[in-house]
Structure 1
Amino acid sequence: MRPFDTVVVVDWSAGKRAGPTPQKDAIWLGITREGGSLEPRYCRSRRDAEQALELLISQETVAGRRVLCTFDFPFGYPTGFTRHVTGSDDPFVLWDWFEAQITDAEDGSNNRYDVAENLNQMFDGIGPFWGKSHEDSWPDLPYRKAGISFDLFAEKRSCEGLSKAASSCFQMAFPPTVGGQVMMGLPTLNRLRRMTGACVWPFETWHDADVVFAEIWPGVIEKAVKSRLAQDGAEQIRDRVQVQLLADALARLPVSRLAEHMTDVPPIAREEGWIFGAGISDELNALAVAVSSVRNDCFALPQGVHWTPVDEALTMLRERLLPVTTTETVPLAQATGRIAAVDVTAMRANPPLPNTAVDGYGFAGGCGDGTHRWPLMKERAAAGDVPITVPHGMAIRVLTGAAVPEGVDTVILQEDVTVEEGHITFHGSLKQGSNVRRAGEDVQAGDVVLASGRIVTPADLALLAATGVSHVSVRKPLRVGVLSTGDELVEAGEPTTSGQIYDANRPMLLAMLARLNHQAVDLGRAPDDRDGLRAKLDAAAGQVDAIITSGGASAGDEDHVSALLEEAGAMGIWRIAMKPGRPLALGLWREVPVFGLPGNPVAAMVCALVFARPALAQLAGAEWAVPQGFDVPAAFEKRKKAGRREYLRARIREGRVEVFASEGSGRISGLSWAEGLVELSEPAQDIRAGDLVRFIPFGSFGL
């Protein structure tokens, strides 16, 4: 089965138009595209939602992405109801009936209680519909369920029992108001089905459909929703959290399991409909819980590990971290420096038509040796002209970039031609197809022109524009907070007392993050006070996606960063086998990754470049990037012991790399002096002048 590229979860509402501020009990769309979560969409009304869904589905199908769009209301009624109302067992006949009966104004006012009352009049006795907003209105619609027998058909469908859903299609008021949602949802669904050509599961053959509609019950992931709300706090809108988690869980269901679940439905589902996820709630809950991009143990090291090699540490980060950023679609001009959220395909070929590579004259067929004379048309072909037809045996004046006219496949340079008396004359042979660019020889329509995870460059914009792409789905910038710790720190320019130093790390790290296209957030300084640091981290967790601290990352009495992360139960002190750096505190604070860097500026910068830079890029949704290094003759001598990887501040002069005179971690002047780092691998080395060493320019790190 072909997998679904995009999953949409629609939380429906039968109420009136909601306000402009996102709120509960409104309509929410959860969207996961190519495995990446998009920001949930808030829709104020059913009309807004219908337009948004039609546009979304159209955009996805044009882009070649297969869509699973799920709605949280029943697609059918218990067996026997549809036949009693319409005379047919076909559920789509009932959809048509509701579309014809329901009226829905712009403000959300509707006649659902009138329709429910009219339906009750088709049956003997009381019901089956019950519940209303005003007890004294609609006399044939009972206020309570008491007295309704459900003799002709069951109160609930078969799938409700399997999924343990408490809802009933006949309850019009009092939570859960599923009956009202069905009446207000089926007309919309019927129109969307016609407009988008969607196939409805399980009523139709869905296996090869580009768009599939299915019914969902959000309660199948209730455990995961409660867990997330407990983590995020009561201020979160439950509906928003629910649609996002459910879309992510459905998108992560293995294709084989998805196909098995969608195929394994009983015959009764063809009339009543079926809840997607019924019977596999445990699997979906587990997937929804696992959606969190970072786990409490993601920074844990294997038991017995005391010194972690650099490559092993990088591999663990690469395998354990996933993107945490949501996506948005921006115009092409705003995409530079952003991270592509999905693969972008060419809307048309480049060039779209065969065109001329030179100024000259076009005709059909090549020419052998000798003198050739062609009659010349009065017309000419220039860039932007609509292609005309050139009669056989005639030539036409063409300019560079012009679409090749019909009847032309070869162009000769104007410098090689004599023009006289309405003819062109030239000597020598010319191969057929010369000086003509083939249609699509650069890019074919449908080719991937921008890969997911790539940072968009100005050159990418040229390619995207040339292939008809006007908007790009990109990741929102990763918000990274920077916090310095230590009683000894003061802000540059402020008065100091004996023993105090200026905070050099924070401005350095903030500037680095900005150069790396992250949203740098200045969290200020925290003293060597555990409660004060805890308050700083608590406040930061609500506004950033990751935190970088400097200082307090080791295991001393005043190393409060590592102590608090240990206290939170999500801590790993990675003693990296490298110089400078060694202790690197990695952990989570309220689900936010924390990178605890050493306090010495040189060690802080090196650790940030080597470890935080690629890890943050992956959290932001970018590809894992290994910095490009170059083998350059050394202009220095050094004897290195085995065991640790070393990074030396370095620069290139006259084709050779020289290193800073001191290796001390406190010598900040060496950072300003350097243009990159020399990387010396773990084995012992005896480096002599002229030996090749690996030099990594700061530009390879993105600075």
Structure 2
Amino acid sequence: MSVFDTIVMVDWAGGNDRGPTPKKDAIWAAVNHDGVAEEPAYLRNRQVAEEWLSNLLEQETARKRRVMVGFDFPFGYPAGFAHALTGSNNPIDLWHWFEERIEDAPDRNNRFELAGQINRALSHGHGPFWFCPPGQEIEGLPATKNGYRNPFPERRQSEARAKGAFTCWQMGGAGAVGGQVFTGLPVLARLRRQFHAAIWPFDALDREVAFVEIWPSLTVGTAPDGMIKDAWQVTEVARQVAALSPERLAAMLDVTAPEEGWIFGLGFEQELAAPPLRNDCFALPPGVHWTLVDEALTMLRDRLSPVTGFETVRLGAALGRIAAADVRARRSNPALPNTAVDGYGFAGARGEGVHELPLMPGRAAAGDAPGEVPQGHAIRILTGAALPAGVDTVVLQEDVVRDGERIRFSGPVRQAANTRKAGEDVAVGETVVAAGRRITPADLALLSATGSADLDVRRPLKVGVLSTGSELVEVGAVAADGQVYDANRPMLLGMISRFGHEGVDLGRLPDHREAIELRLNEGALACDVILTSGGASAGDEDHVSALLQEAGAMSLWRIAIKPGRPLALGLWRGKPVFGLPGNPVAAMVCTLIFARPAMDLLAGADWSVPQGFEVPAGFSKRKKAGRREYLRARMRDGRAEVFASEGSGRISGLSWAEGLVELPDQGMEVTPGDMVRFIPFGSFGV
């Protein structure tokens, strides 16, 4: 049983009370309820942290919610240490041993003194622990690692595989976990008794509360500017774990390490980690005032990368999902040489003239296990049947005369006629679906034929949609003079669904800076990317672009495009934000041209270029140089018609149209019959 309702991640600390002001080296904790993250909690010392955890677990268990709590310190020591100290290999006995001996108060604890006592008691005074605080001398505890002898392995098996792992024998210094273990295990021992918690990987996870060892540094990168690293890491790890499917979570928890323990996610780092985007990923080169469409698309393609995690799904649930890795054929297709026709099989070619062969009893049909046919004999064989041993050629039944137990036919018949080779379509080990491909019904047929019952896919991209503007009202409400109904949000959510992503409705807000900032914070916790409409330019009420600018990760791209032009691009708490124009026509065109391929890339799919077709124009137009233009269009009688008005306020043109006519950056004059590029909405996936 591995389904949890609440994920908690705790970054522990072994030092003294840090005071009421949040500090980067204190204890931080994050909670994720059903995929929705809370703000990280600052816990100034271990006593506060234990009380906070106890209260949280009481609340969650009272609601019958299963909770998984991750801690960033080892749950066990290298093999042999527990037995040397307690006489038992059971690591939980070691927890109780520490609980009985650790003295811990907000201003001090005895972790260094206890480490020295252990060293003196083990192996003739040679113990495993080292690091004495500067200016102190503690009997039995070396100040440095130099010259000391360790009677135990330097690292646990999991730590040997974890890049950059510190040994648990180091009691202090940068990155050390030794002090965290000494002070953390007693707290876990008490909470374990209080809530009858299961300890992974020592216990079966069949209880309401489970404690798991997780190291955020394995999967979490650099924190966004202005956010404390530990606070960011616990929030991100809780999000990563909460996003796992039950099957993937169960696979990561399927570990046997009865004495030393294990680090959750080890070996699955790439799957858990979403590569962070750079704060300058949307920055334009100095001096750029206008950006051509092709240049903007190239910058997006080169600077964005997938942000979604991985999960394993059954083949029947894979339609429309994005392959997370290359899928190789587990079985050749065909698996064995077989016949392409109904007829009679034998070995070798036959030349000119009449040939007569004795017939074997029975027949070979599709699904039969291949038998064997002696040299010089033939067998009745049906389409799709595997070729029996001794058969490599088939003659059509229409070309054969059967006389009792013999057949006659006229040559010539070439060797291997009317047969298929094993692996003729796909050989075992060949790539049948490449990473980044969105699975189609045809892919399901190929994957089934080559033996894939399940496959690794990307999690759906969660795209938040936020409308801003004091003039907007919700559809169904009474619109006062000067107000308009919010048309963008339902349009964008519908487009996102058609693109194959998961839309998250972030609602509609007036032009209030504080409200927009709060909603962006909420969206960054719940979504992978955010689309806003309105407030993306540089006016007094354009709060989206102003907030992104102040966050230090925003560029206002003035793109040479009609309709459109201003497009605010930035990062908010590490999540990409596309600030679309408020006009619905411009918002739709910018979404199709820029946001759609960018979101595909963020979702883990290949960069997509819409398929256009050169068709005769059914309209006239004189176009100035300098901007790429997209006209609402449809095909009628083999020609592209365009909407009567180019006004971007004419929303009816979007519904009228079946696609876009794309006119190049250069100036041109279009007359009826000239060839123009028509891109059907279907090429965009809508």
**What's the TM-score, normalizing by structure 2?**
0.69
2:74–2:168 contact (8 Å) kept in structure 1: no
Task: Kindly provide the CA deviation profile for residues 490-512 of structure 1, in whole angstroms up to 9, marking residues without a partner as x.
Answer: 12222111111111111111000
1:352 lines up with 2:329 in the alignment: no
Q: 1:152 to 1:679 in 2, by over 3 A?
A: closer
- One-letter amino acid of the counterpart of residue 329, structure 2: A
Find 2:281's aligned residue among 281, 294, 298: 298
Quick check: 1:549 aligned with 2:532? yes
CA distance in 2, matches of 1:456, 1:664: 38
Match of 1:154 among 148, 154, 159: 148
**Is residue 312 from structure 1 mapped to residue 295 from structure 2 by the alignment?**
yes
Tell me how far apart the structure 2 counterparts of residues 298 and 639 of structure 1 sit (CA, whole Å): 37
Assess, with a 3 A threshold, how the Cα gap between structure 1 residues 323 and 503 changes in structure 2: closer, same or farther. Answer: same
Q: Which residue of 2 aligns with 1:337?
A: 320
Equivalent of 1:584 in 562, 567, 572: 567
Give the alignment partner of residue 602 of structure 2, picking from 598, 619, 638: 619
- The residue number in structure 2 matching 1:30 is none
Aligned match of 1:128: 127
- The Cα shift of 1:293 comes to 2.6
Whether the aligned pair in 1 keeps the contact of 2:219 and 2:237 (CA below 8 Å) is no
Residue correspondences, number: 533
For the residue of structure 2 that corresponds to 1:312, the secondary structure is helix
In the TM superposition, what is the alpha-carbon distance from 1:228 to its structure 2 partner? 8.9
> Would you say 1:644 and 2:627 are equivalent positions?
yes
Structure 1: which amino acid aligns with 2:127?
P
Kindly indicate whether the alpha-carbon contact (under 8 Å) linking 1:325 and 1:477 is maintained by their aligned counterparts in 2.
Answer: yes
- The residue correspondences of 1:424-443 to structure 2 (distance < 5 A) are 424-443=407-426
Is 1:324 equivalent to 2:307 in the alignment?
Answer: yes
**Match of residue 661, structure 2, among 669, 674, 678:** 678
Q: Which runs of 5+ in 1 are unaligned?
A: 1-16, 28-38, 40-70, 78-91, 132-143, 181-191, 193-216, 245-286
Distance 1:511 1:25 in 2: 38
Summarize deviations over 1:550-595 as a string: whole Å, max 9, x none. 1121122222222222222221111110111111111112211111
**Alignment partner of 1:230 is 2:227:** yes
* Preserved contact between residue 155 and residue 170 of structure 1 (Cα < 8 Å): no
* Residue 182 of structure 2 corresponds to residue 168 of structure 1: no
- Aligned partner of 1:448 in structure 2 is 431
- Structure 1 pair 113/632, CA: closer, same or farther in 2 (3 Å)? same
Equivalent positions of 1:440-519 (< 5 A) are: 440-519=423-502
Over 3 Å counting, the alpha-carbon distance change for 1:243 and 1:512 in structure 2 is closer
Residue-by-residue CA offset, 1:618-674 (whole Å, 9 max, x unaligned): 111110011111111111111111111110111111221111111110111111111
Q: Which residue does 1:206 correspond to in 2? A: none
Deviation of the 1:337 alpha carbon: 0.5
CA separation of 1:683 and 1:220: change in aligned 2, threshold 3 A? closer
Structure 1: how far apart are the matches of 2:436 and 2:75? 38
Cα pair 2:223 2:233 within 8 Å, conserved: no
2:588 equivalent in structure 1: 605
1:422 maps onto 2:405 in alignment: yes
Question: What is the CA distance between 1:369 and its match in structure 2?
Answer: 1.9
Q: Contact between 2:222 and 2:276, CA under 8 Å: does it hold in 1?
A: no
Give, in angstroms, the shift of residue 165 of structure 1.
5.5
CA distance 1:242–1:592, change in 2 (3 Å): closer
**8 Å contact 2:558–2:567 — kept in the other structure?**
yes
CA distance in 1: counterparts of 2:576 and 2:229, whole angstroms: 15
* Separation (CA, whole Å) in 2 of partners of 1:528 and 1:617: 30
Q: CA shift at 1:122, angstroms?
A: 7.7
Distance in 1, matches of 2:498 and 2:576, equals 20
1:529 equivalenced with 2:523 (yes/no): no
Q: Distance in 2 between matches of 1:443 and 1:152?
A: 59
Matched letter for residue 479 of structure 1 = K
One-letter amino acid matched to 1:671: L
Could you tell me which runs of 5 or more consecutive residues in structure 2 were left unpaired when the two chains were aligned. Answer: 13-34, 36-71, 99-114, 131-136, 156-163, 186-200, 202-213, 242-269
- Does 2:345 correspond to 1:366? no
State the match for 1:406 in structure 2. 389
Secondary structure at 1:523 match in 2: strand
Contact 2:339 2:382 survives alignment (8 Å): yes
Kindly provide the amino acid, as one letter, of the partner of residue 496 in structure 1.
Answer: A
Secondary structure of residue in 2 paired with 1:606: helix
CA displacement 1:416-459 (0-9 Å, x = unmatched): 22222111222232111111110011111111111111101111
Contact 1:367/1:432 (8 A) holds in 2:
yes
SS at match of 1:605: helix
Task: Summarize the Cα distance change of 1:646–1:372 in structure 2 as closer, same or farther, 3 Å threshold.
Answer: same
Q: Distance in 1 between matches of 2:236 and 2:552?
A: 30
Alpha-carbon deviation of 1:176? 3.5
Aligned equivalents of 2:514 and 2:453: distance in 1? 50
In structure 2, the CA distance between the partners of 1:560 and 1:223, relative to structure 1 (3 Å rule), is: closer
Aligned to 1:186: none
**Distance of 2:312 and 2:337 partners within structure 1:** 32
State yes or no: 1:388 paired with 2:371: yes
Q: CA separation of 1:669/1:412 partners in 2, compared to 1, >3 Å: closer, same or farther?
A: same
Equivalence map 1:188-207=2 (5 Å): none
Distance 1:639 1:541, change over 3 A: same
Secondary structure at 1:237's aligned position in 2? helix
Deviation at 1:123, TM superposition (A): 3.6
In the alignment, the residues of structure 2 paired with residue 222 and residue 444 of structure 1 have an alpha-carbon distance, to the nearest angstrom, of 36
Amino acid at match of 1:553: A
**Conservation of the 8 A alpha-carbon contact between 2:73 and 2:180:** no
Counterpart in the other structure of 1:696: 679
Distance (whole Å) between structure 2 residues aligned to residue 574 and residue 392 of structure 1: 76
CA distance in 2 between partners of 1:547 and 1:222 (Å): 23
Q: 2 CA distance for matches of 1:375 and 1:451?
A: 49
Paired amino acid for 1:154:
Y
- 2:294 partner SS: helix
- Worse overlay, 231-240 or 629-638: 231-240
CA deviations 1:215-239 (Å, max 9, x no partner) are xx97999996777993588486389
What amino acid maps onto 2:303 in structure 1?
Answer: R
CA distance in 2, matches of 1:563, 1:26: 33
Residues 296-339 of structure 1: CA deviation (Å, up to 9, x unaligned)? 21111111111100000000001111111111111111111011
TM-score scaled by length of structure 1: 0.67
8 Å contact kept, 1:155–1:168: no
Query: For 1:32-181, what aligned pairs fall within 5 Å after superposition?
Result: 103-104=89-90, 123-124=123-124, 126=125, 128=127, 146-147=139-140, 154=148, 167-168=168-169, 175-177=180-182
Over 3 Å counting, the alpha-carbon distance change for 1:119 and 1:356 in structure 2 is farther
Partners in 1 of 2:229 and 2:95 — Cα distance? 38
1:569 pairs, out of 530, 541, 552, with 552
Partner of 2:444, secondary structure, is helix
Contact 1:156 1:169 in 2 (8 A): no
Q: How large is the RMSD of aligned CA atoms in angstroms? A: 4.4
CA shift digits 1:146-184 (9 cap, x unpaired): 457899961569999xx995842799986345999xxxx
Change in 2 beyond 3 A, CA 1:166/1:414:
closer
2:10–2:234 contact (8 Å) kept in structure 1: no
Q: Distance in 1 between matches of 2:148 and 2:3?
A: 34
How far apart, in 2, do the equivalents of 1:384 and 1:222 lie? 48
Which one is further off, 418-427 or 164-173? 164-173
The Cα offsets for residues 326-383 of structure 1, whole Å up to 9 and x where unpaired, read as: 1111111111101111111111211111111111111111212221222111121111
Compared CA separation, residues 392 and 472, structure 1 to 2 (3 A): same
Partner Cα separation in structure 2 for residue 220 and residue 539 of structure 1: 24
Q: Take 2:165 and 2:314, find their aligned partners in 1: how far apart are those partners?
A: 45
1:2-17 alignment, distance < 5 Å: none
Percent identity over the alignment? Answer: 55
**Alignment-mate amino acid for residue 657 of structure 2:** A
| Equivalent residue number for residue 31 of structure 2 | none
Q: CA distance change for structure 1 residues 236 and 221 in 2, over 3 Å: closer, same or farther?
A: closer
